[in-house]
Amino acid sequence: MQRKLLSPEREDLIVRALEAGMRTIAEFSAELGVSEATVRRDLQSLEATGRLRRVHGGAEPMTLDRRLEPLFNEKTSQMAAEKSRIAELALAQINDHDSIFLDGGSTVLALARHLNERRRLTVVTNSLSAAAELLETPHRLILLGGEFRPISRTLVGPLTAHLANELHINKAFMGTIGFSPAEGMSTTDPNEAYTKELIMRRADRVYLLADSSKIGVSSLVKSGTLADVDVLITEARLPQAVLHVLHKRKIEVITP
Amino acid sequence: MQRKLLSPEREDLIVRALEAGMRTIAEFSAELGVSEATVRRDLQSLEATGRLRRVHGGAEPMTLDRRLEPLFNEKTSQMAAEKSRIAELALAQINDHDSIFLDGGSTVLALARHLNERRRLTVVTNSLSAAAELLETPHRLILLGGEFRPISRTLVGPLTAHLANELHINKAFMGTIGFSPAEGMSTTDPNEAYTKELIMRRADRVYLLADSSKIGVSSLVKSGTLADVDVLITEARLPQAVLHVLHKRKIEVITP
DNA sequence: AAAATAATTGCAAAATCTTGCAAAATACGT
DNA sequence: ACGTATTTTGCAAGATTTTGCAATTATTTT
């Protein structure tokens, strides 16, 4: 049976223990003087509130504020399983010979890694990471030009418009830092936001790829509204309230 | 059976070990204290998240640059000394805060590697290899958008015009496959040629970087005439006849 | 072409996790 | 205080996941 609430006392103990370097269930159990089953339930609670991340065998501390864009090479592994599952769902939306856009971000990057399962796509992207992934594939690759933003490894800003306006994109697969039903999408950089909006307005069909850590989060700059999105792909079970809003906006939701 | 998720603890260990120079399965197995089969499954997970690249016998770290480089290695190693000589001469033509264009090709790439000796350049390029070289520099980097041409790792074709026409370039550093006083420059691909001509016509001052193996050679497609070039930088002692033509066309020649 | 080395896959053992349940602890109304 | 309702806990059975081994398949070397 799932518990209602974890006492803040033990919550502190666990978080403190985590910071001290403890990782395994056995360690926590010994430290807190409770059974392993209880530790697991504790970790379950803490994961639900986002204080830590559970893994087989124990737990690891959660990274800083998610509003700060993770440095690129850093935690692409965060939520890797979730991202990969989302990528598979997205892949199912792509047919051979489609002409698609790939946005920046690690979730979309996971999709790029799956594209060898399709034939002769035309892939437009502003992400150098995605491009690197596709260098050796037989797909046609078109890079959006523009100013390079090191932290996200994307090409962004007004210059991207000159090329984007010349292209016709069937399906755009977008990432985001935050997504909330009320505010829409948000990201950390105005130029990045500019390019995202530009692309979404030019694509026939816009897919937003967002793992559960993005839902309900707002970042600095608005980068598109709900009206810009046609389909939301996520691995999370969304709250009823969110689902209701999405349904009213005629946004399709794809989950595993 | 493929595993769900790799514990971050071991993930860190492997990545750390990789950075420390380990490469083979046996080494990882010894380091982590797990069987080789498990190491292989670990590497599989890490490759899926893009943290490394698996190779027969082990794994190697993956960076964008490393991935972009290999195709070039063959050509780069040929006449490496000459190209480097030329790059140094070209570097002397660049001042802090200049706004320059870098073309594709290994000679120009050698120049890109020297650019950390200047401050705050604005570098426009259509070469992914050059871009990879500049990813971590403090220079401002602008990529020309366009269709990706795998062999040269450049962005080429009519799409490049949309962005190029918006930019003002002080100095353009161009590579070429062939250069002859009679025919001008030539290259192997029409799209490549198109973009080269486009850039040269928009730059204030055009530098052609050509080692001696290029001089007197003609390739398939004309990519600009002598009139497009302001300066020829080469390491070779040019024949009197060639020098004479260049002088008549008011093309400056820079040699060691 | 054969031998050697490495990778993948199926399988079973070990470790870990989830869940139902009853006992213990806690909260709550009187 | 007392009894009852609610929540938490530990236990144990059953489900999952991870792991190492070994057989098979693939790749590289000789």
pTM, whole model, 2 decimals?
0.81
The amino acid at A178: G
Phi, psi of B158 (to 5 degrees): -55, -30
Nearest chain A Cα distance for residue B215, angstroms: 31
Residues of B whose CB is below 8 A from A165? 162
Kindly compute the dihedral angle of the four CA atoms of residues B194, B198, B200, B203, in this order, to the nearest 10 degrees: -160
Nearest chain A Cα distance for residue B49, angstroms: 6
pLDDT digit string, tens, across residues B117-127: 999 999 999 99
Residues of B whose CB is below 8 A from A159? 142, 163, 166-167
Tell me what pLDDT residue B70 has. 45
The two beta strands, B184-187 and B178-180, are antiparallel
Nearest CA in chain A to B150: A135
Instruction: Provide CB contacts within 8 A for A32, sequence distance 6+.
Output: A10, A13, A14, A17, A38, A39, A42
Nucleotides of C under 7 A from a protein CB: 5-12, 15-22
Residues of A whose CB is below 8 A from B4? 56, 81
Quick one: pLDDT band at residue B50, thresholds 50, 70, 90? confident
How far CA A208 is from CA of A176, A227, B50, B95, in Å, comes to 8, 12, 21, 44
Tell me what pLDDT residue B64 has. 58
Tell me what pLDDT residue B51 has. 82
Closest nucleotide relative to residue B57's CA, C1' based: C6
The gap between B55 CA and D28 C1' (Å) is 12
pLDDT digit string, tens, across residues B75-98: 556 677 888 999 999 999 999 999
Nearest CA in chain B to A130: B64
Mean pLDDT of A147-154: 93
Quick one: pLDDT band at residue A66, thresholds 50, 70, 90? very low
Is residue B151 predicted with pLDDT exceeding 90?
A: no
Quick one: pLDDT band at residue B74, thresholds 50, 70, 90? very low
Closest nucleotide relative to residue A7's CA, C1' based: D8
**DSSP secondary structure of chain A:** ---S---HHHHHHHHHHHHTT--BHHHHHHHHTS-HHHHHHHHHHHHHTTSEEEETTEEEEPPS-TTSPPPSSTTTTTTHHHHHHHHHHHHTT--TT-EEEE-SSHHHHHHHTTGGGSSS-EEEESBHHHHHHHTTSSSEEEEPPEEEETTTTEEESTHHHHHHTT--EEEEEE--SEEETTTEEEES-HHHHHHHHHHHHHEEEEEEE--TTTBT---SEE---GGG-SEEE-SS---HHHHHHHHHTT-EEE--
Q: Give CA–CA dist A157/B166, Å, rounded.
A: 13
The DSSP 8-state label assigned to residue B229 in this structure reads: -
Closest nucleotide relative to residue B45's CA, C1' based: D18
Mean pLDDT of B47-64: 83
Locate A122 and state its tokens: 């035309």
Residue with tokens 């190209």: B83
Kindly compute the dihedral angle of the four CA atoms of residues A178, B10, A47, A243, in this order, to the nearest 10 degrees: 40
Considering only CA atoms, give the Rg of chain B: 22
Is residue A175 predicted with pLDDT exceeding 80?
A: yes
The gap between A5 CA and D4 C1' (Å) is 21
Q: What percent of chain A has pLDDT over 70?
A: 91
The DSSP 8-state label assigned to residue B92 in this structure reads: T
> What interhelical angle do B36-48 and B8-19 show, nearest 10?
90
Tell me what pLDDT residue A7 has. 74
Q: Give CA–CA dist B81/B256, Å, rounded.
A: 13
Nucleotides of D under 7 A from a protein CB: 7-12, 17-22, 27-28
Locate B186 and state its tokens: 């030539």
Quick one: pLDDT band at residue B28, thresholds 50, 70, 90? very high
pLDDT digit string, tens, across residues A67-82: 334 444 444 556 676 7
Query: Cβ of B77 < 7 Å from strand D?
Result: no
How far CA A70 is from CA of A22, A119, A174, B81, in Å, comes to 24, 32, 17, 40
